[in-house]
Structure 1
Amino acid sequence: MPNPTGNPATPTPAGTPTQVTQGSRTRGGIGESTLRPDGTLKVTGEFAYSSDMWHEDMLWGQILRSTTAHAEIVSIDVSEALAQAGVYAVLTHDDLPTDVTKYGLEYQDTPVLADGVVRHHGEPVALVAADHPETARRAAARIRVEYRELPVVTDETSALADGAPILHPHRDDHHAGHVAHPNIVHRQPVVRGDAAEAARRADVVVTGEYVFGMQDQAFLGPESGLAVPAEDGGVDLYVATQWLHSDLRQIAPVLGLPEDKVRMTLSGVGGAFGGREDLSMQIHACLLALRTGKPVKIVYNRFESFFGHVHRHPARLRYEHGATRDGRLTHISCRIVLDGGAYASASPAVVGNAASLAVGPYAVEDVDIEAVALYTNNPPCGAMRGFGAVQACFAYEAQMDKLAKALAMDPVELRQMNAMEQGTLMPTGQRVDSPAPVAELLRRVKARPLPPERQWESTAGADVRALPGGLSNTTHGEGVVRGVGYAVGIKNVGFSEGFDDYSTARVRMEVVGGQAVATVHTAMAEVGQGGITVHAQIARTELGVTQVVINPADTRVGSAGSTSASRQTYVTGGAVKNSCELVREKVLAIGRRRFGTHHPAWATAELLLEGGKVVTDGGEVLADLAEVLADEAVEIEAEWRHRPTQAFDLVTGQGDGHVQYSFAAHRAVVEVDTELGLVKVVELACAQDVGKALNPLSVLGQIQGGTTQGLGMAVMEEIVVDPKTAKVRNPSFTDYLIPTILDTPTIPVDILELADDHAPYGLRGIGEAPTLSSTPAVLAAIRNATGLDLTRTPVRPEHLTGTP
């Protein structure tokens, strides 16, 4: 039978009658809303996060960070710090143990400690280990660093001007040869057809320039970890991260250790959203532990966290859309400039996503797209939920509203008329080969009844906290105006552009106390997405057992890749499914050897495992698993890969760069106080195709969470960087605002399950897509309420009132 997953190790494709029957009969299997085992602990505050770890005789690490954004380090004097009682070590760049002093996700351009130059505000300069966290902080404050200020690069003009400071003058990465200036990290064009000629044929052309602010992941738990030196000269690192094996690949060379002597175990992670893909304190803790011979714990406070991880790229986007009089798109041209900050991080991949998804979920023949990322002295930017597609969606959806207005068309009708569908050719030349229900998603959100207007009047005496929108910027004045807006987005799932995207799972099946038990071991980082629950559901479905043990994630099993790109259920779930299928076949083979002579069905029937029994597809019980596995356990570790992708051509942008696409649509309902400039988001209705809801409750949570994060970007969240000094102005939750439960509107969700035949169980990545369309939907609703041409996010009160 052909294998639609493209993985020769998978013996049976998703959706066969055997699996459908088995899944429907297994309690706690796929398709059920099983509860998360860590849920109650997290809600009650009893869950152990990485910051809660403790070790006897533990030291505390502290990082001294630069107070300026671009400067030469003239001198560093650590004598006062070393003289302080309780201090065990102080390290600078000169103390690093090997010639490998840089790290990075794609290429190594980020210094472990500043290498004579600091390139952004908050860059690590020195490390301290002491017997108390306050002692470590005081010692770090006693380190004297003399800087010689250098000119700062803060935007495209200053980065590419004649005589501009070259931030990385000795680049040797694989992108350096195809960019026009060394301060350009990466450039990706996407060209198909002739957009210039199509523009001449267009009846209506609209243009717009848009600004997208820098967003922080704002996860619950700041960066933290514990490094413990080992007797073999290695180190054991317990850390909150998103990709254990990527961390390992970057850490070991700096320490001068083979990878098998750097043993990593995932600790409790308080959220991630891309902010933990890059290293933060991992190498620093290990360096201090190996230097002192003692366990070293590092925990950032919130101020440090704002400097200690990458953020979402701010962007400037210029778009041109053309259409015929009846609303058919003729062409789209755009230029997207992403500010990557001081170091590359994931900027090249973000550029690829922004370029390849720049036109949105629409069918258009003629496109001319350019996306670039810049090196600047602003804070480093990298992965964050939505990964380049968020910035593009904000602009192209604003353009669709502007085009609808110019054509005097309903904005939803215009989108539906041009919506892509299965079989549509992407601007990159890739054909969409799975369901793309864009028009249907829009129809569903539009068909929902609207919430009542001015509810504080119709529900007199009610607690305002119970009304949709809660307490978010609520006012009851006469200047409150209702607005409704729509948006839809497209996001890739999984790693793209030829990356070897795979995951590994080790599954063991044995009998314990007379009961069959399955154990699943992967390196997947559980960062709050609920993967551990899904893995147990898959094991129950494929192996028919009730008891499933999920081992802690570590580097003692093969890589699971990053918990990002909405890929873990797809890829690591696929690996768990694959390993379970191989275990099942081996268990049944054992049964055939042991019982085949006593029951001819062993040799001929379609066999299943369920409820501790071996059964035929007709439900006939052949043997207990306790009998089959009485003398042996079955353990298999296997990889699973999705279909191969291709790198985009560097001239045309053509190539099958993505493995899967996900789609979500939103309708936002807002109330705007036009006198005070306050916005209350009353409702953010969402419709999303998830392929297959393996755990419907978790799916709902992912969609509502992503929607809320997009709401934050629309009306409150932005890291403010001084344009003259490149210093961060608001590194705290006092000044960087995020939505709370009191700001969160009603979020009704419509879930479609249109299977992707290429994916395990037909599933589709979920977590990122709702973050794309919620932001532009809110902006569209505010425009609808005020009539203002809002081209910047987040929207602030002064943008609505015209006051400075």
Structure 2
Amino acid sequence: MTGIQNAAGPRSATSTLTRGTAAGPAPRGGVGDDAVRPDGHLKVTGRFAYSSDLRAEGMVWATTVRSPHAAARIRAIDTTRACAVPGVHAVLTHEDVPGAKTYGMKVADQPVLATDRVRHQGEPVALVAADDPETARRAAGLVDVAYDVQDPVTDAAAALDPATRHVHEGGNLVRRVRIVHGDMERARQEADVVVTGDYTMGMQDQAFLGPESGLAVPAEDGGVELYVASQWLHKDLEQLAPCLGLPEDKVRLSLAGVGGAFGGREDLSVHVHACMLALALGRPVKMVYNRHESFFGHVHRHPARMRFEHGATRDGRLVFVDAHLLLDGGAYASTSPVVIANASYFAAGAYGVPNARIVGDAVFTNNPPCGAMRGFGAVQSAYGVESNMDRLAAALGMDPVELRLRNAMTTGTVLPTGQAVDGPAPVAELLRTVRDRPMPGGGGEVGPYSLPGGTGNTTRAEDVRRGVGYAVGVKAIGYSGGVDDVSTARVTLSEAAGRAAVAVHTAAAECGQGVTTVQAQIARTELGVSDVAVLTADTRVGDAGSASASRMTWMSSGAVQGACRQVAEEVLERAAHRSGTAAAELALVGGAVVRRATGEAVAPVADLVRDDPVEREHVYRHRPTEAIDPETGQGDAHIAFAFCAHRAVVDVDPELGLVRVVELAAAEDVGRAMNPRAVEGQIEGGSVQGLGLALMEEVQVDDQGRVRNPSFTDYLIPTIADVPPMPLAVFEYPHPDSPYGVNGVGEPPTLSSTPAILNALRDATGLDLPRAPIRPGDIALGAADY
């Protein structure tokens, strides 16, 4: 890492902050500062309380009985032996579910506990509660389930064959998205060069730090309190309460410490099970998955098969894109209907393409369920389109960056959905920035980490080939397709120990991305008060939406800013009444109300709120979007777009198939860097996750639907030894529709890092390498044939 470069011209032109009622500089730790995370010290010293650390007096431990089969009928469940184990308090099956038997993010198709059949390996069948986790696990192994095993549907392409057995009664198609733009018949006649590529992407796990866990505590009113790691508390509540047979006001969720998420905590996991047991036993129940169970307890990134066809004129102008995407959604819908939509929206990439035909299919199989993961479908299509752009450049005899620059999206570019980009779109500038960076050293140095194979010392320096690859990604920010995107914040200004103090209360999930820090920064900026506390997120305040779609900073900023400005308005009115000065002539600065013209203090804020704290709640919405037409895919589906470009430099030992990423440079437009240090971390983290997808990360599922590597011994993720220097260039082009000009940050780096690395490998080896992640055999065997 060589540090952030603020690359959007003069800082004064892009960083000036409109402070509403505040005058003068904001307190330290305001918007735009490298603010210290309130949870940072606790986390690095190991004292932060994650959801798995929670305890309650009298609690019991629970575990799940899961199916070993991917497809089977259940003939009988016998809990007799399990119930007889000393220390076991309850064994529950589907017959004990008190309310709705199914739940789901978009479609309620997922059983709380399997009834007459299982559709994937690891599907929950029964629950056990006992005095300790060891007893619970031992008893779970004594639950006797009689299965009639079936042949599973594991091939996504075969799932679309009418002759294939249906995973669900309605068929195996989750959703088909069609986008037709321009005149494809004429475009084919105009294209001088046409290239076609088939690309495959494996199933990636979110690999978050903390496995699923939660603590359910029965309440005196017959309801239940659930403390759980989550990305969206109110969506959890919406699914959870019907399954418990309770009204929503009797089910209260609080966010427990979240050890990472990346989409894997959008769906329910321990939620219903822990609450069912707590209500049945009348005592607290704790559930904590181990890492093995976690692989079966959350969704993964959809595996994909994609065909891309690009047509261009001889001078490199894109004429058309024809793409077909097939995503394997696994056994249940989860968010597959919107993941395939998102993948299809951006199948033409960050380019102006006058004609496009895009068909995206998501299907059911008996493989593990797939759903949200960082990038949300756009990762798959970015990999396909960016790989095919390099194929097109080769066919044209053109530099890959020049081809991209010639077709780069700009403000005003019309997407295949017919929507014009109305915000900043500095695609060409991002590409030029990474292209023009100095290249890293020549690779002649020999050290423990300097060659492919690292400390294994398996590579001879004279065999190494170097390659350079580029890619750029585009993704929508926030909910799309007509979904009502909302965020709520409650802000209270009061007096504590003679000082003004602010409390911010939202349901925004802090998953490690720093939204808690941003909320405090906004309160300091808007109210001029240093003492800010962000309360625990829970469902006692209105919905904040999901910590996904790179939306949380934007949406929470709008909600907290709006509530703060309402609070400030009331405080200034009080000061105006006391001083006889018009409220418009006053401002909040440094914990005091001052006259704007002179800076003269009128009253300490603490005095104005001592006996009567000011509390305001604000609901923020961005401008509406619309659903795309089901036949043509046309519609203004998005609120905003974010862009990131990468240049990857790799060294490859083609004989052994070993790879070392020498450097992974990134350039991204973030709108406004609310917390520059956190922005840096988001870009680095997204880039490393993309590196993992390029080179090592894949959930291996065999043809019987069984996961072969459900552990971090066998599922490989990048370590510090795999992470190269990552020089960053951060552009700040304020978005016209957002609070402070902010834009999404966390997902775009994951889009472009994977194809940049694969394109660099192709450059080094001359091989097609149509599959991600790359395995050593893909290179070594291919090089032997080359």
Q: Structure 1 residue 231 and structure 2 residue 220: aligned?
A: yes
Match of 1:102 in 2: 102
Rounded to whole Å, the distance in 1 between the matches of 2:566 and 2:22 is: 18
Q: Structure 1 residue 590 and structure 2 residue 574: aligned?
A: yes
Q: How does 1:387-536 map to 2 (within 5 A)?
A: 387-457=376-446, 464=448, 475-536=459-520
Rounded to whole Å, the distance in 1 between the matches of 2:328 and 2:725 is: 34
Query: Against the structure 1 CA distance between its residues 473 and 503, is the aligned structure 2 distance closer, same or farther, given a 3 Å change threshold?
Result: farther
Query: Against the structure 1 CA distance between its residues 727 and 621, is the aligned structure 2 distance closer, same or farther, given a 3 Å change threshold?
Result: same
Aligned to 1:487, the other structure's residue is in SS state strand
Structure 1 unaligned spans of 5+: 1-13, 172-181
Q: Structure 1 residue 323 and structure 2 residue 312: aligned?
A: yes
Query: Against the structure 1 CA distance between its residues 318 and 76, is the aligned structure 2 distance closer, same or farther, given a 3 Å change threshold?
Result: same
Q: Structure 1 residue 149 and structure 2 residue 138: aligned?
A: no
Contact persistence 2:21–2:568 (CA under 8 A): no
Contact persistence 1:18–1:617 (CA under 8 A): no
Match of 2:679 in 1: 699
Query: Against the structure 1 CA distance between its residues 296 and 664, is the aligned structure 2 distance closer, same or farther, given a 3 Å change threshold?
Result: same
Rounded to whole Å, the distance in 1 between the matches of 2:339 and 2:176 is: 11
Q: Structure 1 residue 552 and structure 2 residue 559: aligned?
A: no
Select the residue among 598, 602, 610 that pairs with 1:622: 602
Aligned length: 768
Match of 1:221 in 2: 210
Q: How does 1:175-190 map to 2 (within 5 A)?
A: 182-190=171-179
Contact persistence 1:468–1:682 (CA under 8 A): no
Whichever residue aligns with residue 454 of structure 1, its letter is G
Deviation at 1:384, TM superposition (A): 0.1
Taking structure 1 as the reference length, the TM-score comes to 0.93
Deviation at 1:710, TM superposition (A): 0.2
Q: Structure 1 residue 254 and structure 2 residue 281: aligned?
A: no
Select the residue among 349, 360, 380 that pairs with 2:338: 349
Query: Against the structure 1 CA distance between its residues 415 and 516, is the aligned structure 2 distance closer, same or farther, given a 3 Å change threshold?
Result: same
Deviation at 1:479, TM superposition (A): 1.3
Q: Structure 1 residue 140 and structure 2 residue 140: aligned?
A: yes
Whichever residue aligns with residue 209 of structure 2, its letter is L
User: 1:285-306, CA deviations, whole angstroms, 9 ceiling, x for partnerless residues?
Assistant: 0011111111110000000000
Q: How does 1:770-785 map to 2 (within 5 A)?
A: 770-785=749-764
Rounded to whole Å, the distance in 1 between the matches of 2:77 and 2:244 is: 22
Deviation at 1:43, TM superposition (A): 1.6
Contact persistence 2:673–2:732 (CA under 8 A): yes
Aligned to 2:445, the other structure's residue is in SS state helix
Contact persistence 1:23–1:29 (CA under 8 A): no
Q: Structure 1 residue 741 and structure 2 residue 720: aligned?
A: yes
Match of 1:4 in 2: none
User: 1:641-699, CA deviations, whole angstroms, 9 ceiling, x for partnerless residues?
Assistant: 01101011110001111111000000001111111101101110000000000100000
Query: Against the structure 1 CA distance between its residues 38 and 325, is the aligned structure 2 distance closer, same or farther, given a 3 Å change threshold?
Result: same
Contact persistence 2:453–2:459 (CA under 8 A): no
Whichever residue aligns with residue 610 of structure 2, its letter is A
Deviation at 1:252, TM superposition (A): 0.6
Deviation at 1:626, TM superposition (A): 2.5
Rounded to whole Å, the distance in 2 between the matches of 1:24 and 1:702 is: 27
Match of 1:9 in 2: none
Contact persistence 2:299–2:368 (CA under 8 A): yes
Contact persistence 2:291–2:711 (CA under 8 A): yes
Match of 2:740 in 1: 761
Contact persistence 1:15–1:762 (CA under 8 A): no
Whichever residue aligns with residue 503 of structure 1, its letter is S
Match of 2:614 in 1: 634
Query: Against the structure 1 CA distance between its residues 632 and 90, is the aligned structure 2 distance closer, same or farther, given a 3 Å change threshold?
Result: same
Match of 2:777 in 1: 798
Deviation at 1:465, TM superposition (A): 5.1
Whichever residue aligns with residue 98 of structure 2, its letter is P
Match of 1:643 in 2: 623
Match of 1:63 in 2: 64
Contact persistence 2:22–2:525 (CA under 8 A): no
Query: Against the structure 1 CA distance between its residues 611 and 472, is the aligned structure 2 distance closer, same or farther, given a 3 Å change threshold?
Result: farther
Match of 2:9 in 1: none
Contact persistence 1:496–1:658 (CA under 8 A): yes
Aligned to 2:423, the other structure's residue is in SS state coil
Query: Against the structure 1 CA distance between its residues 635 and 15, is the aligned structure 2 distance closer, same or farther, given a 3 Å change threshold?
Result: farther
The Cα RMSD (Å) is 1.7
Match of 2:11 in 1: none
Q: Structure 1 residue 82 and structure 2 residue 83: aligned?
A: yes
Contact persistence 1:503–1:575 (CA under 8 A): yes
Rounded to whole Å, the distance in 2 between the matches of 1:328 and 1:215 is: 34
Rounded to whole Å, the distance in 2 between the matches of 1:21 and 1:472 is: 59
Match of 2:6 in 1: none
Contact persistence 1:469–1:745 (CA under 8 A): no
Aligned to 2:405, the other structure's residue is in SS state helix
Deviation at 1:480, TM superposition (A): 1.0
Query: Against the structure 1 CA distance between its residues 251 and 25, is the aligned structure 2 distance closer, same or farther, given a 3 Å change threshold?
Result: closer
Deviation at 1:454, TM superposition (A): 1.6
Deviation at 1:194, TM superposition (A): 1.4
Rounded to whole Å, the distance in 2 between the matches of 1:621 and 1:730 is: 65
Rounded to whole Å, the distance in 2 between the matches of 1:23 and 1:756 is: 24
Contact persistence 1:243–1:524 (CA under 8 A): yes
Rounded to whole Å, the distance in 1 between the matches of 2:18 and 2:139 is: 66
Whichever residue aligns with residue 516 of structure 1, its letter is A
Contact persistence 1:544–1:608 (CA under 8 A): no
Large movers: runs of 4+ above 6 Å: 466-470
Contact persistence 1:594–1:628 (CA under 8 A): no
Match of 2:564 in 1: 580
Q: Structure 1 residue 608 and structure 2 residue 587: aligned?
A: yes
Rounded to whole Å, the distance in 2 between the matches of 1:29 and 1:576 is: 13
Query: Against the structure 1 CA distance between its residues 484 and 19, is the aligned structure 2 distance closer, same or farther, given a 3 Å change threshold?
Result: farther
Rounded to whole Å, the distance in 2 between the matches of 1:623 and 1:328 is: 64
Deviation at 1:108, TM superposition (A): 0.2
Deviation at 1:166, TM superposition (A): 1.5
Contact persistence 1:234–1:262 (CA under 8 A): yes
User: 1:81-101, CA deviations, whole angstroms, 9 ceiling, x for partnerless residues?
Assistant: 001111110011112113x10
Deviation at 1:23, TM superposition (A): 7.4
Taking structure 2 as the reference length, the TM-score comes to 0.96
Contact persistence 2:52–2:288 (CA under 8 A): yes
Query: Against the structure 1 CA distance between its residues 205 and 22, is the aligned structure 2 distance closer, same or farther, given a 3 Å change threshold?
Result: farther
Select the residue among 682, 686, 689 that pairs with 2:662: 682
Whichever residue aligns with residue 427 of structure 2, its letter is V
Aligned to 1:750, the other structure's residue is in SS state strand
Contact persistence 1:314–1:339 (CA under 8 A): yes
Rounded to whole Å, the distance in 2 between the matches of 1:558 and 1:378 is: 36
Select the residue among 168, 193, 206 that pairs with 2:182: 193
Contact persistence 1:229–1:295 (CA under 8 A): yes
Contact persistence 2:21–2:587 (CA under 8 A): no
Match of 2:636 in 1: 656
Rounded to whole Å, the distance in 1 between the matches of 2:549 and 2:538 is: 20
Deviation at 1:20, TM superposition (A): 10
Rounded to whole Å, the distance in 2 between the matches of 1:473 and 1:564 is: 41
Contact persistence 1:673–1:679 (CA under 8 A): yes
Query: Against the structure 1 CA distance between its residues 266 and 469, is the aligned structure 2 distance closer, same or farther, given a 3 Å change threshold?
Result: farther
Deviation at 1:157, TM superposition (A): 3.7
Whichever residue aligns with residue 89 of structure 1, its letter is A
